[in-house]
Amino acid sequence: MEDIFLYGTLRDTELRNIVLGAEAPVIQAILPDHAVFWAEGQIYPTIVNQSGAAAPGLLLNAPDAALLARLDFYEGGFGYDLAPVEVRDHAGMPRPARVYFPRPGAVPPGAPFDLGDWQDRHGALSRTAAQEAMGYLGRLDADTLAARMPMIRARASARLSAAEGVPARIRSDTPSRAVETLETEVNHIGFYRFETQRLRHPTFASGADQQVRREMVVATDAVMVLPYDPVRDRVLMVEQFRMGAYGRGDPRPWMLEPVAGRIDAGETPEEAARRECEEEAGIALSALEPIASYYCTPGYSTEYFHNFVGLADLPDDLPRLGGLASEAEDIRIHLIGFADAMRLIETGEADNGPLILSLLWLARERATLRRTP
């Protein structure tokens, strides 16, 4: 087995140990005539040929087949494959090795990569994502992992956000560490992750632990944005086919909704809200008014919504079709006067929580928004 040169995030000891499954000895090394950059728009690096440069890294000494399989799986999740190179070790001696290079057509390089910057801004997220990803070794191949990685990272981001917590003035302040997970079974790994957990938690009646079995959809955090034009006094809603309504047996499974979408890894809710409005409706928001952040169905799903009203210019000539073809989005856009929008609640045509909540909040705050310069 040849040595493996690690030039990017696997220089982080904690992440490397997660991926390898154990500690492994490494030494300092460089790869001449190469440089490491951020992958454009991503939270991980890429490596390119650059005459006269030297990429710093670590040399993993001849990993056995099991360790190499773990590395291949993880790096394959980013679309990287091994290729032979010659590195120089800490003593300046040339040594044959192999390194993970991006496949042709991969994400182009951006700014020069800085490990400390990555550790500060994306280290915790990447380590959390790696823990989930490596749990699929033997269940998924590397190409399938690559397709799942954006959602894995988004779930990791949501988990870190959840750790911030909210007040517990009236409800129980019993911490999550009082809950003991006895067994976790992963039932499905797709766009979402489905789990069955057997756990034990304290009860209100006696304080004694109760053992239960619960099923859970592990989703991500998402944004809901109702664009509102305070000058024209109208809102923008999107209409699209919804699987939940269809699966329930609704005879009309196309729904009116706020603009909505997943919060990508490394994004704030506000950044995601502005991005989704541009992608789905082709509009730029002048301001965001927060409504609330909340679990939508906490009995069985981890999905968490950040709800906003977004102030925007909504002229008559806005395009009436929107969405990203790359995400198979088929969206029709509606501009609706405030009074007509409120009647949708009365008639029942507004029949999803985020839209109803957004309209009720707007009804309360509309006068203020309309007189604000």
* Cβ-Cβ contacts under 8 Å for 294 (sequence gap 6 or more): 304, 305, 307
- Catalytic residue check, 239: no
Q: Cα 304 vs. chain centroid, distance in angstroms?
A: 12
Beta bridge partners of 5: 59, 99
CA distances from 190 to 139, 186, 187, 340, 351 (A): 12, 11, 10, 39, 27
Candidate list 40, 86, 185, 327, residue with the active-site label: 327
Half-sphere exposure of 86 (CA within 13 A, CB side): 4
* Cβ-Cβ contacts under 8 Å for 162 (sequence gap 6 or more): 302, 304
Q: Is the Cβ–Cβ distance between 261 and 329 less than 8 Å?
A: no
CA distances from 291 to 157, 224, 301, 308, 354 (A): 21, 10, 21, 5, 10
Q: What is the DSSP string of 181-195?
A: EEEEEEEEESSSEEE
Listed residue (49, 53, 58, 41) closest to 115, CA to CA? 58
Q: Is 276 annotated as a binding residue?
A: yes
Q: Is 280 annotated as a binding residue?
A: yes
| 157/126 Cα distance (integer angstroms) | 9
Q: Is 260 annotated as a binding residue?
A: yes
Q: Is the Cβ–Cβ distance between 323 and 351 less than 8 Å?
A: no
Q: What are phi and psi of 285, to 5 degrees?
A: -90, 140
Encoding tokens for residue 284?
């730029």
Q: Is 40 annotated as a binding residue?
A: no
Residues designated as active site: 327
Show binding-site residues for Mg(2+). 260, 276, 280, 329
